[in-house]
């Protein structure tokens, strides 16, 4: 029997992580889920981070293409349809870099589309993501709060973090706050809100696809500038939830929905 040649590919693009455990639980997991969901597509991986790809190659002998290399390989293979789905959280600078790369290949495939990141700033997405995140949270008492640590960026898409917090409030989940490492709301903003509330115990969770360096160190590390240390010093009991969002099946489903939307020509990024 001659197997039909696979002419359709879903390229799953992640920042990448050098932490093998979280990579298995998040990136490997969603790629497997995507492969099982879209049976007539081949699933390929690309990592955007040059540093991560270098570490993986030199330390672990794992070679991962960047998006440019992956798309070039697909083009040379004669693939006709490419659906690019990033595991990014917001459509920030990295996502726009990916769009720019994809645009270079727009005449090389019969079809090439890019699905939207997890939080694409539509109210519907934000509500679905908030509901999905709630599933990984314990029932909170009046004096307990979840603080989600997002990456944050100088890019205008940073505004989505505050929007997500608003959506949690509107869903009557008052005790979920969102902070970011590199944008606003800052950790200081979060602490100010916590101090104006009856909250005594904080559960820190990464608003990141993987629980890699930022989650392990910036959030949960023992250094004096980690969020855990700072919140503890501010008098809160701190618990850390060290799982990337990519482990959450409800979050995975949202990305899969975004792939479906992109295939159907619905909500997707435009490659003009």
Q: Cα(first)–Cα(last) distance of the chain, in Å?
A: 41
Does 151 count as an annotated binding residue?
yes
Residue 147 phi, psi (nearest 5): -110, 115
How far is residue 211 CA from its own chain's centroid? Answer: 10
Does 239 count as an annotated binding residue?
no
Does 182 count as an annotated binding residue?
yes
Catalytic residue among 151, 155, 243, 258: 151
Burial of 127 (0-12, 13-18, 19+ CB in 10 A): middle
Q: Distances from the Cα of 236 to the Cαs of 185, 204, 224, 229, in angstroms?
A: 19, 11, 15, 10
In the residue annotation, 243 being an active-site residue is answered as no
What sign does the dihedral 26-27-33-34 (CA atoms) show?
positive
Catalytic residues: 151
Per the annotation, binding residues for Co(2+) are: 151, 182, 214
Per the annotation, binding residues are: 151, 182, 214
């Amino acid at each position: 029997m001659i197997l039909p040649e696979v002419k359709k590919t879903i390229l799953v693009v992640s920042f990448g992580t050098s932490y093998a455990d979280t990579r298995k639980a998040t990136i490997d997991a969603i790629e497997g889920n995507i492969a099982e969901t879209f049976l007539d597509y081949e699933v390929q991986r690309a990592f955007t981070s040059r540093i991560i790809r270098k570490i993986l190659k030199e330390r672990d002998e794992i070679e991962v293409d960047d998006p440019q290399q992956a798309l070039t390989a697909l083009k040379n293979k004669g693939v006709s349809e490419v659906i690019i789905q990033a595991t990014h959280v917001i459509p920030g600078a990295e996502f726009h870099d990916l769009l720019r790369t994809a645009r270079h290949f727009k005449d090389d495939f019969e079809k090439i589309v890019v699905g939207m990141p997890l939080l694409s700033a539509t109210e519907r997405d934000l509500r679905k993501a908030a509901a999905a995140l709630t599933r990984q949270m314990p029932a909170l008492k009046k004096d307990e709060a979840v603080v989600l640590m997002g990456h944050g960026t100088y890019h205008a898409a940073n505004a989505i973090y505050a929007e997500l917090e608003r959506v949690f409030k509107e869903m009557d989940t008052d005790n979920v706050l969102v902070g970011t490492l590199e944008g606003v709301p800052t950790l200081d903003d979060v602490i100010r809100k916590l101090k104006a509330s009856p909250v005594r115990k904080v559960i820190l969770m990464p608003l990141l696809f993987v629980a890699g360096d930022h989650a392990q160190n910036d959030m949960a590390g023992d250094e004096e500038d980690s969020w855990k240390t700072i919140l503890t010093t501010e008098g809160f009991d701190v618990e850390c939830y060290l799982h990337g969002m990519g482990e959450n099946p409800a979050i995975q489903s949202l990305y899969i929905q975004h792939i479906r939307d992109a295939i159907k020509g619905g909500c997707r990024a435009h490659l003009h």
